[in-house]
Amino acid sequence: EDQVTQSPEALRLQEGESSSLNCSYTVSGLRGLFWYRQDPGKGPEFLFTLYSAGEEKEKERLKATLTKKESFLHITAPKPEDSATYLCAVLYNAGNMLTFGGGTRLMVKP
């Protein structure tokens, strides 16, 4: 069965404590892996798209990487304003719409 699984479900960090969020996928014909940030009461906000294994993208304190089985979102020296739910999603085979994982809720304490 095609699946997208994110771990952990929740992560508490101290400000400045770097960590990584995981998104593993079991789909065939991956065409793109997407990372989104979602704040409470708002819609998902696009962060990155990764298209092939080995690709990396960075934005401020965030860095996304992709292998053939999973993607990591590395957060370096996080700040309280990085607190949010981070979602990953995949586009695969001939499909045109995203399949989402369950998300990781990140809480960064000052």
Partner 1 sequence: NAGVTQTPKFQVLKTGQSMTLQCAQDMNHEYMSWYRQDPGMGLRLIHYSVGAGITDQGEVPNGYNVSRSTTEDFPLRLLSAAPSQTSVYFCASTGQGFYGYTFGSGTRLTVV
* Residue corresponding to tokens 């995949």: 90
CB nearer partner 1, residue 78 or residue 101: 101
Distance CA 98, CA 15 (A): 32
According to the binding rule CB under 8 A, does residue 94 interact with partner 1? no
Helix (H, G, I), strand (E, B) or coil at 60: coil
Q: Which two tokens stand for residue 97?
A: 């719409």
Return the DSSP state at 40: T
Mask for 9-48, x = binds partner 1 (CB under 8 A)? ----------------------xx-x-x----xxxxxx--
Positions in the binding site for partner 1 (CB under 8 A): 31-32, 34, 36, 41-46, 49, 87, 89, 91, 96-103
